[in-house]
Amino acid sequence: MSKQISRILAVLTLLVFTSGLAFAGNTGNVTQTGNDNVATTHQTGDLNTSDVVQTGNDNDSDVDQVGNGNQGDVTQVGDENTADITQNGNDNTASVTQNSSFNGDFTAGNWNGRINQVGDDNDAHITQNADSQTYAHIQQTGDGNTGSIEQDGGSGNNADMHQEGNGNTAHMSQSGNNNHGMDLGARSASATSASIRQTGNDNTVIYFDQDGDDNSGDVLQVGDNNSTMLSQIGNLNDAKVIQTGNNNGNIFSGADQVGDNNFARVTVTGNNNGYNHTDQVGNNNDAVIDQLGDDNNADLHQIGNTNEGTINQEGNGNNAGFAPIRGIFQDGDNNLALLDQFGDNNTGRIVQEGDWNDAEVDQDGNNNTGRVDQTGFSNDAFTDQNGDGHSSNVVQSGNFNNSLVVQNP
């Protein structure tokens, strides 16, 4: 009897094991070599895997996966290729690799490579290497998403990445001229991190938006005539913008933060950089603008409590207080402002409206102008100017204000 029971149990175990194998995930592989190829893969279920390789011109690939643990890879070599991966479920992984040139004008929604993921723990990567005008788009909705877009070479490349959910990470890298990074953002999300790297001239970060808590944003641009806009709404945000080159920020370059415990730093190296701006609305903010070069403009606004604002300019003809540039403007309590200028013909101004403010203007060079305006009580103002032909103007309105102006040849 015991042997018969053992046989029955063994058979049942085998049936369960084979049944599990029968319903394991699908695997689909498509390999195409030639012109005008079209590949479409649709998978529904768990543990699906799809690998599409296309070599030739005018290829079109579409991968649609519904379920958990899916993986979709598309590799295309040729001209005017199009890849579209859609994943709905958890633990998905998508990768698009293209080596192609898109011969056409860019319009919103017209992409060479596109990945759309809905679910948790998604991972998406798009890599494009072409002569010009490549387009990449990643849309992620869910928690724990990771997105990466890399565009190498050529000009007129466009990348768009949008994330909705918690714990998102986004990275965008563009090499070439006249590239655009658009809508690199995470909205209604927490613990997000995003970075963008652009190398070349006439590049633009059109919109870098994060809405949520514990966000981190990082922008690096190397080249001339670049501009960027970084916006964060939420708590404990961290923003860094670094630009190296000339004529950057002609439209706008800087960071806007609305929330608590924010930190923003804008660093610019080069000449004739237009408008480097930082705007913070909230509590316990800290902002620093560093400019190294000639004829640069800096503007820092803080509205809230316990803010610290610093502008450092090293060069000639820099402006941090001549209209329409307002220099450092603080409206709130317990603010601290430091304006440091090294060079000739520089202009600086600090305006503080609130209580317990501290203002310091340090200028080292010739023909510089320093001005401090304070409204409130218990304010302190210190101006230190070294060189010839300096001019200083301190206006204080309120109680318990202290002002000290030191001018040395």
pLDDT tens series, the chain, 409 aa: 454 444 434 433 433 333 444 456 789 999 999 989 999 999 999 899 999 999 998 899 999 999 988 999 999 998 788 999 999 998 999 999 998 655 444 444 456 899 999 998 999 999 998 777 788 999 999 888 899 999 987 788 889 998 888 778 899 999 988 888 876 666 666 677 889 999 999 888 866 788 887 888 899 999 998 888 888 888 888 999 999 998 887 656 788 999 989 999 999 999 887 778 899 999 899 999 999 999 989 999 999 988 999 999 999 999 998 777 779 999 988 999 999 999 999 999 999 998 899 999 999 999 999 999 999 988 999 999 999 889 999 999 998 999 999 999 9
Question: Is residue 326 classed exposed, middle or buried when 0-12, 13-18 and 19+ CB atoms within 10 A define those classes?
Answer: middle
Q: Which residues pair with 391 in a beta bridge?
A: 369
Residue 135 CA to residue 355 CA, distance in Å, equals 51
Rg (alpha carbons) of the chain, rounded to whole number: 28
pLDDT of 22 reads 45
Instruction: Give a yes or no: residue 343 inside a domain.
Output: yes
Instruction: Give a yes or no: residue 396 inside a domain.
Output: yes
Number of domains in the chain: 1
Q: Write down the residue that tokens 């961290």 correspond to.
A: 238
The SS3 call for residue 9 is helix
Q: What is the 3-state secondary structure (H, E, C) of 55-124?
A: ECCCCEEEEEEECCCCEEEEEEECCCCEEEEEEECCCCEEEEEEECCCCCCCCCCCCCEEEEEECCCCEE
Joined together, the tokens standing for residue 73 give 């890879």
pLDDT of 5 reads 47
Q: Write b or e for each residue in 1-35: b if 16 or more Cβ atoms lie within 10 A of its Cβ, otherwise e.
A: eeeeeeeeeeeeeeeeeeeeeeeebbebebebeee
Instruction: Give a yes or no: residue 87 inside a domain.
Output: yes
Contact assessment for residue 273 and residue 241, using Cβ atoms and an 8 Å cutoff? no
Q: Residue 287's domain spans which residues?
A: 27-408
Distances (CA, A) of 367 to 319, 359, 371: 13, 21, 13
Q: Is the peptide bond before 409 cis (omega within 30 degrees of 0)?
A: no
Instruction: Give a yes or no: residue 8 inside a domain.
Output: no
Instruction: Give a yes or no: residue 1 inside a domain.
Output: no
Instruction: Give a yes or no: residue 268 inside a domain.
Output: yes
Backbone φ and ψ of 85, nearest 5°: -120, 125
pTM of the model: 0.88
pLDDT of 97 reads 94
Which candidate, 223, 236, 220, 138, places its Cα nearest to that of 182?
Answer: 138
Backbone φ and ψ of 149, nearest 5°: -130, 125
Instruction: Give a yes or no: residue 18 inside a domain.
Output: no
Contact assessment for residue 294 and residue 317, using Cβ atoms and an 8 Å cutoff? yes
Residue 288 CA to residue 266 CA, distance in Å, equals 6
Contact assessment for residue 345 and residue 316, using Cβ atoms and an 8 Å cutoff? yes
Joined together, the tokens standing for residue 221 give 């641009």
The SS3 call for residue 28 is strand
Contact assessment for residue 157 and residue 174, using Cβ atoms and an 8 Å cutoff? yes
Contact assessment for residue 157 and residue 176, using Cβ atoms and an 8 Å cutoff? yes
pLDDT of 101 reads 56
Which candidate, 407, 406, 404, places its Cα nearest to that of 396?
Answer: 404
272: left (phi > 0), else alpha (psi -120 to 50), else beta? left
The SS3 call for residue 267 is strand
